Amino acid sequence: MGDGSGVMKRFFALCAAGLLLFAPQAAVWAGELQLQDLIEEALQAGPEIQAARAKALASGFRVPQTMSLPDPMVMAGYQNAGTNRLTFNEAYDSQFMLSASQQFFFPGKRALKGEVAAREEESLSASAKAVQLRIIATIKELYYDLFLAHQSMDLIREKSVILHQVEDAALARYASGGGMQQDVLMAQTEKYMLLEREEMLKQKIQTLEAQLNSTVGREQAAPLDRPVAPVFTPYSQALPELIAAAYENSPEVKARERMVASLDAKVRVAEREYYPDITVTGNYGLKGQAFEDMWSLTTTVNIPLYYTTKQRPAVDEAEASLSEAKNELQAVRLRLSSAIRENYAMLQATERLMELYRQGLNQKTHQDFQTALASYATGKADALTVISRIKTITDIETSYWGQLVEWEKARARLEALTGMMTDFHTEEGRQ
């Protein structure tokens, strides 16, 4: 019994010290993965962001093209009188011919076509901004998920240390005749279950690292340090402010608005097609020394004779496309409003849960664990009681960090939805 009593005293001391593992403390790591560094790297090298920017840039080059006149036409030839021999300088109708022609659009068409292309460029630029915000939000979500996986790994390892002490104490009590074999088996079973969870977390960390590297634009096997713990600061903006900001600043809304403007101009372009274009042609005939040269200037006007099957359907098509764009704009606004309400509700719920964990459950479960630990050390409680209290503490710690991560992810999504990139802060250690 002396040896068993000594083991129990050491167990109680180690477990009491182990409680410090669950308390807030500053963690020191060999390297830290900074969220801002990942975002800046993605903005500079992310393939999806670069592709969206290049697409918007390419659309800008279409503006001068659409406003340009058609290429002028030049013709050179020879006209001969008869077919038996060359009659240049002998027959009046024999001549070398030169001509040049240029088509001119009906007034207003060029400006409208340029407006269509310019609004399309603005729409694609806004879409590129939307892609950028979406990628940043994805990086933040993966970053915080990776942090949670590392944090869960720490909690499991801390729990394993205490369970190892429970196992040693149970073995000592069983060897001295003061305990049951069931306590030993229970502690060992729980320990092996933790090993399984640890392996699953290792796999999850590898998956998240690969996804984060891919999103940033790195090789998927590139090593990553441990993310820094986020700092919780209550969200100050109200729901109506967020919805109003989304309608005003969201790149998705701006992209749809510019597309509506582009299609509105396209309707006016189609309506101008009822009016004819003019082609001016200059001709010069070189007849030689025996006859005087000739020149002529002509204009050609196309007649929209088949407007019922060409111009009118084109206007109808443009108006239908405009109606589609307006409805899509309204759908985007409704979707943004719904998504903002959903994420805002999530923010509020996670804030309440984190406050509950900090102010109530965390303190009570630690007190309950200390009581069970003292009872087990004196032989008044079994190992099941201690193990269940350890599991409760770990579950609450995991839930707290999980809620904090969900809060950060919801805030990241709100930033992307509203088009407002707010400052973010990180800190070392735990809350």
Query: What token pair was written down for 367?
Result: 């007190």
Q: What angle do CA 14, 18, 20 make, to 5 degrees?
A: 135
pLDDT in tens, 96-122: 999 999 999 999 999 999 999 999 999
What is d(CA 390, CA 384) in angstroms, rounded to the nearest whole number?
A: 10
Q: Is 208 a member of any domain?
A: yes
Q: Is 265 a member of any domain?
A: yes
Q: Is 97 a member of any domain?
A: no
Residue 20 has pLDDT above 80, yes or no: no
Q: Is 294 a member of any domain?
A: no
Task: Give Cα separations from 330 to 251, 333, 414 (angstroms).
Answer: 14, 5, 19
What is d(CA 113, CA 121) in angstroms, rounded to the nearest whole number?
A: 13
Q: How confident is the model at residue 180 (pLDDT cuts 50, 70, 90)?
A: low
Buried/exposed 361-398: b ≥16 CB within 10 Å, e otherwise: bbeebbeebeebbeebbeeebbbebbbebbebbbebbe
Do 8 and 169 meet the contact criterion of CB atoms below 8 Å apart? yes
Do 390 and 369 meet the contact criterion of CB atoms below 8 Å apart? yes
Query: What token pair was written down for 153?
Result: 């790994």
Q: Is 78 a member of any domain?
A: no
Q: How confident is the model at residue 377 (pLDDT cuts 50, 70, 90)?
A: low
pLDDT of residue 146: 95
pTM assigned to the model: 0.80
Domain with 193 in it: 2-69+105-273+310-427
Q: How confident is the model at residue 365 (pLDDT cuts 50, 70, 90)?
A: low
Residue with more model confidence, 232 or 405: 405
Residues in the chain: 431
Mean residue pLDDT across the chain: 84
Residue 29 has pLDDT above 60, yes or no: no
Give the sheet arrangement for strand 294-301, strand by strand: 73-79, 95-104, 278-286, 294-301
What is d(CA 16, CA 10) in angstroms, rounded to the nearest whole number?
A: 10
Amino acid 312 reads R
The β-bridge partners of 420 are none
Q: Is 100 a member of any domain?
A: no
pLDDT of residue 364: 66
Q: How confident is the model at residue 26 (pLDDT cuts 50, 70, 90)?
A: very low
Share of the chain above pLDDT 90, in %: 58
Mean pLDDT of the region 4-25:
46
pLDDT in tens, 198-210: 899 999 999 999 9
Q: What angle do CA 77, 79, 80 make, to 5 degrees?
A: 140
Residue 63 has pLDDT above 80, yes or no: yes
Q: Is 77 a member of any domain?
A: no
Quick check: helix, strand or coil at residue 431? coil
Quick check: helix, strand or coil at residue 286? strand
- What burial class does residue 192 get, using C-beta atoms within 10 Å of its C-beta: 0-12 exposed, 13-18 middle, 19+ buried? exposed
Q: How many folded domains does the chain comprise?
A: 1
Lowest mean pLDDT among 19-23, 57-61, 164-168: 19-23
Q: How confident is the model at residue 28 (pLDDT cuts 50, 70, 90)?
A: very low
Element (H, E) at 12: helix 2-18
Helices (DSSP H) in 30-108: which residue ranges?
35-45, 47-60, 62-67
Q: Is 36 a member of any domain?
A: yes
Do 81 and 93 meet the contact criterion of CB atoms below 8 Å apart? yes
pLDDT of residue 35: 93
pLDDT of residue 195: 82
CATH number at residue 241: 1.20.1600.10
What is d(CA 19, CA 191) in angstroms, rounded to the nearest whole number?
A: 18
Residue 327 has pLDDT above 90, yes or no: yes
DSSP 139: H
Quick check: helix, strand or coil at residue 179? coil
What is d(CA 271, CA 171) in angstroms, rounded to the nearest whole number?
A: 91
pLDDT of residue 376: 66
pLDDT in tens, 281-294: 999 999 988 899 99
Mean pLDDT of the region 161-181:
69
